[in-house]
Amino acid sequence: MARILKILIVDPNQFFVAGLQQAVEKHLHAKGIPVIFMKQPLSYPMADLIFWAPGYSTTVMPIGLLAGNSQKSRLIILTSRQRTHLVTNYVPWIFYRHQSYNALLLLIDTILTSSMSNNSHSIVNEHNENPLKTLSPRQRQVMHYISKGMLASEIAEKLQIHEKTVSTHKRTAMGKLQLDRTADLYHWLLCDATAAHLISQQ
Protein backbone atom coordinates (compact mmCIF):
# COMPACT_ATOMS: atom_id res chain seq x y z
CA MET A 1 0.00 0.00 0.00
CA ALA A 2 1.33 3.44 -0.94
CA ARG A 3 2.06 5.72 1.96
CA ILE A 4 0.42 9.12 2.28
CA LEU A 5 1.81 11.73 -0.09
CA LYS A 6 2.48 15.04 1.69
CA ILE A 7 1.88 18.07 -0.54
CA LEU A 8 2.69 21.71 0.18
CA ILE A 9 1.17 24.54 -1.89
CA VAL A 10 2.40 28.09 -1.27
CA ASP A 11 0.45 30.61 -3.34
CA PRO A 12 -1.30 33.86 -2.31
CA ASN A 13 -4.27 33.08 -4.58
CA GLN A 14 -6.44 30.91 -2.34
CA PHE A 15 -9.00 30.26 -5.09
CA PHE A 16 -6.23 28.85 -7.27
CA VAL A 17 -4.95 26.78 -4.33
CA ALA A 18 -8.41 25.32 -3.68
CA GLY A 19 -8.83 24.32 -7.32
CA LEU A 20 -5.32 22.89 -7.45
CA GLN A 21 -5.88 20.83 -4.31
CA GLN A 22 -9.11 19.40 -5.67
CA ALA A 23 -7.59 18.48 -9.04
CA VAL A 24 -4.42 16.96 -7.56
CA GLU A 25 -6.27 14.99 -4.88
CA LYS A 26 -8.73 13.56 -7.40
CA HIS A 27 -5.93 12.63 -9.80
CA LEU A 28 -3.77 10.90 -7.19
CA HIS A 29 -6.75 9.23 -5.50
CA ALA A 30 -7.52 7.58 -8.85
CA LYS A 31 -3.99 6.17 -8.76
CA GLY A 32 -4.50 4.82 -5.25
CA ILE A 33 -2.21 7.41 -3.64
CA PRO A 34 -3.67 9.07 -0.51
CA VAL A 35 -2.65 12.70 0.04
CA ILE A 36 -2.58 15.31 2.77
CA PHE A 37 -1.98 19.01 2.23
CA MET A 38 0.48 20.72 4.55
CA LYS A 39 -0.24 24.23 5.81
CA GLN A 40 3.04 25.80 6.89
CA PRO A 41 5.60 26.91 4.26
CA LEU A 42 8.52 26.04 6.55
CA SER A 43 7.30 22.43 6.58
CA TYR A 44 8.82 22.04 3.12
CA PRO A 45 11.59 19.63 4.25
CA MET A 46 8.87 17.07 5.06
CA ALA A 47 6.86 17.58 1.86
CA ASP A 48 6.97 15.02 -0.94
CA LEU A 49 5.70 17.45 -3.57
CA ILE A 50 5.98 21.24 -3.39
CA PHE A 51 4.12 23.89 -5.39
CA TRP A 52 5.53 27.38 -4.83
CA ALA A 53 4.59 30.75 -6.34
CA PRO A 54 7.60 33.03 -5.75
CA GLY A 55 7.68 36.77 -6.22
CA TYR A 56 5.11 37.82 -3.61
CA SER A 57 5.72 39.29 -0.16
CA THR A 58 3.95 36.33 1.45
CA THR A 59 5.72 33.65 -0.59
CA VAL A 60 9.42 34.42 -0.15
CA MET A 61 11.32 31.19 -0.79
CA PRO A 62 13.62 29.82 1.94
CA ILE A 63 17.21 29.47 0.76
CA GLY A 64 17.21 25.84 1.82
CA LEU A 65 14.46 25.04 -0.65
CA LEU A 66 16.86 25.55 -3.55
CA ALA A 67 19.96 24.24 -1.80
CA GLY A 68 19.83 20.59 -2.85
CA ASN A 69 18.83 18.58 -5.88
CA SER A 70 16.46 16.42 -3.82
CA GLN A 71 14.44 19.55 -2.99
CA LYS A 72 14.41 20.92 -6.53
CA SER A 73 13.48 17.55 -8.01
CA ARG A 74 10.08 17.73 -6.27
CA LEU A 75 9.50 21.50 -6.54
CA ILE A 76 7.06 22.93 -9.08
CA ILE A 77 7.22 26.69 -9.56
CA LEU A 78 3.83 28.33 -10.15
CA THR A 79 4.13 31.45 -12.28
CA SER A 80 2.82 33.26 -15.35
CA ARG A 81 4.33 34.52 -18.57
CA GLN A 82 3.70 38.07 -17.37
CA ARG A 83 5.25 37.52 -13.93
CA THR A 84 8.52 35.67 -14.35
CA HIS A 85 10.93 35.10 -11.49
CA LEU A 86 14.69 34.55 -11.42
CA VAL A 87 14.25 31.20 -9.67
CA THR A 88 12.71 29.71 -12.83
CA ASN A 89 16.25 29.58 -14.24
CA TYR A 90 17.32 27.12 -11.55
CA VAL A 91 14.48 24.59 -11.26
CA PRO A 92 13.43 21.90 -13.72
CA TRP A 93 9.66 22.02 -13.16
CA ILE A 94 7.56 25.09 -14.01
CA PHE A 95 3.79 25.40 -14.39
CA TYR A 96 2.37 28.52 -16.03
CA ARG A 97 -1.07 29.57 -14.82
CA HIS A 98 -2.49 29.76 -18.35
CA GLN A 99 -1.78 26.06 -18.86
CA SER A 100 -4.50 23.46 -18.38
CA TYR A 101 -4.80 21.25 -15.32
CA ASN A 102 -4.17 18.29 -17.62
CA ALA A 103 -0.73 19.72 -18.33
CA LEU A 104 -0.11 20.05 -14.59
CA LEU A 105 -1.26 16.48 -13.89
CA LEU A 106 1.07 15.23 -16.61
CA LEU A 107 3.89 17.18 -14.96
CA ILE A 108 3.07 15.59 -11.59
CA ASP A 109 3.10 12.11 -13.14
CA THR A 110 6.49 12.88 -14.69
CA ILE A 111 7.89 13.93 -11.30
CA LEU A 112 6.48 10.83 -9.58
CA THR A 113 7.99 8.57 -12.22
CA SER A 114 11.31 10.39 -12.05
CA SER A 115 11.37 10.15 -8.26
CA MET A 116 10.75 6.42 -8.33
CA SER A 117 13.30 5.70 -11.04
CA ASN A 118 16.00 7.76 -9.32
CA ASN A 119 15.14 6.16 -5.99
CA SER A 120 16.37 9.34 -4.33
CA HIS A 121 13.09 10.58 -2.93
CA SER A 122 10.54 7.95 -3.84
CA ILE A 123 7.17 9.29 -2.80
CA VAL A 124 5.47 5.91 -2.91
CA ASN A 125 8.25 4.15 -1.04
CA GLU A 126 7.09 3.26 2.45
CA HIS A 127 10.68 3.25 3.65
CA ASN A 128 11.22 6.91 2.75
CA GLU A 129 12.05 8.50 6.09
CA ASN A 130 10.57 11.64 7.52
CA PRO A 131 13.59 13.93 8.17
CA LEU A 132 12.43 14.28 11.78
CA LYS A 133 12.96 10.56 12.27
CA THR A 134 16.59 10.87 11.17
CA LEU A 135 17.38 12.94 14.26
CA SER A 136 19.39 11.15 16.92
CA PRO A 137 17.86 10.87 20.41
CA ARG A 138 20.17 13.64 21.65
CA GLN A 139 19.34 15.93 18.71
CA ARG A 140 15.67 15.34 19.39
CA GLN A 141 16.19 16.26 23.04
CA VAL A 142 17.95 19.48 22.09
CA MET A 143 15.18 20.39 19.63
CA HIS A 144 12.60 19.64 22.31
CA TYR A 145 14.19 22.01 24.81
CA ILE A 146 14.69 24.68 22.15
CA SER A 147 10.97 24.45 21.40
CA LYS A 148 10.37 25.14 25.10
CA GLY A 149 12.32 28.39 24.78
CA MET A 150 15.40 27.24 26.69
CA LEU A 151 18.80 28.81 26.01
CA ALA A 152 21.82 26.75 24.97
CA SER A 153 23.36 27.22 28.43
CA GLU A 154 20.17 25.98 30.10
CA ILE A 155 19.96 22.97 27.78
CA ALA A 156 23.62 22.16 28.47
CA GLU A 157 22.98 22.22 32.21
CA LYS A 158 19.82 20.14 31.84
CA LEU A 159 21.55 17.46 29.75
CA GLN A 160 24.88 17.78 31.58
CA ILE A 161 26.83 18.40 28.39
CA HIS A 162 28.98 21.29 27.13
CA GLU A 163 27.23 24.31 25.65
CA LYS A 164 29.21 23.90 22.41
CA THR A 165 27.90 20.34 22.16
CA VAL A 166 24.36 21.71 22.34
CA SER A 167 25.15 24.08 19.46
CA THR A 168 26.64 21.20 17.46
CA HIS A 169 23.52 19.08 17.97
CA LYS A 170 21.35 22.03 16.93
CA ARG A 171 23.35 22.71 13.75
CA THR A 172 23.37 19.02 12.80
CA ALA A 173 19.62 18.74 13.34
CA MET A 174 18.99 21.88 11.30
CA GLY A 175 21.09 20.40 8.50
CA LYS A 176 19.00 17.23 8.50
CA LEU A 177 15.81 19.33 8.50
CA GLN A 178 17.25 21.57 5.76
CA LEU A 179 16.70 24.73 7.78
CA ASP A 180 19.38 27.36 7.21
CA ARG A 181 18.70 29.96 9.87
CA THR A 182 17.89 29.73 13.56
CA ALA A 183 14.93 32.03 12.88
CA ASP A 184 13.58 29.44 10.42
CA LEU A 185 13.98 26.75 13.08
CA TYR A 186 12.06 28.73 15.69
CA HIS A 187 9.31 29.58 13.22
CA TRP A 188 9.04 25.95 12.16
CA LEU A 189 8.88 24.67 15.74
CA LEU A 190 6.22 27.23 16.63
CA CYS A 191 4.03 26.86 13.55
CA ASP A 192 4.19 23.19 12.61
CA ALA A 193 2.07 21.12 14.99
CA THR A 194 3.33 17.83 13.52
CA ALA A 195 6.93 18.87 14.10
CA ALA A 196 6.23 19.94 17.67
CA HIS A 197 4.46 16.64 18.39
CA LEU A 198 7.22 14.45 16.96
CA ILE A 199 9.98 16.50 18.58
CA SER A 200 8.24 16.20 21.95
CA GLN A 201 8.38 12.40 21.69
CA GLN A 202 12.03 12.36 22.71
Q: Does domain 5-118 have CATH number 3.40.50.2300?
A: yes
Name which residue leads in pLDDT, 176 or 60.
176
Residue 119: which region, alpha, beta or left (left: phi > 0; alpha: psi -120 to 50)?
Answer: left
Q: Is a pLDDT exceeding 80 seen at residue 18?
A: yes
**Fold category of 131-200 in CATH:** Arc Repressor Mutant, subunit A (1.10.10)
Name which residue leads in pLDDT, 54 or 82.
54
SS3 81: coil
Q: pLDDT for 30-46, tens place per residue? A: 988 899 998 888 777 78
Q: Is a pLDDT exceeding 90 seen at residue 162?
A: yes
Q: Where in the chain is the domain with CATH 1.10.10.10?
A: 131-200
Beta-sheet strands, E only, within the chain: 5-10, 35-38, 49-52, 75-79, 93-96
Q: Is a pLDDT exceeding 60 seen at residue 124?
A: no
Name which residue leads in pLDDT, 4 or 172.
172
Q: pLDDT for 69-95, tens place per residue? A: 555 567 888 887 766 556 556 667 888
- The predicted structure's pLDDT at residue 120: 44
Q: Where in the chain is the domain with CATH 3.40.50.2300?
A: 5-118
Quickly count: other Cβ atoms within 10 Å of residue 80's Cβ. 14
- The predicted structure's pLDDT at residue 127: 39
Q: Is a pLDDT exceeding 50 seen at residue 125?
A: no
- Contact partners, residue 193, CB within 8 Å, separation at least 6: none
Name which residue leads in pLDDT, 119 or 184.
184
- The predicted structure's pLDDT at residue 93: 82
Name which residue leads in pLDDT, 199 or 34.
34
Percent of the chain topping pLDDT 70: 67
Q: Is a pLDDT exceeding 70 seen at residue 187?
A: no
Phi, then psi, of 60 in degrees rounded to 5: -65, 130
Calculated CA dihedral for residues 29, 20, 74, 9, nearest 10 degrees? -120
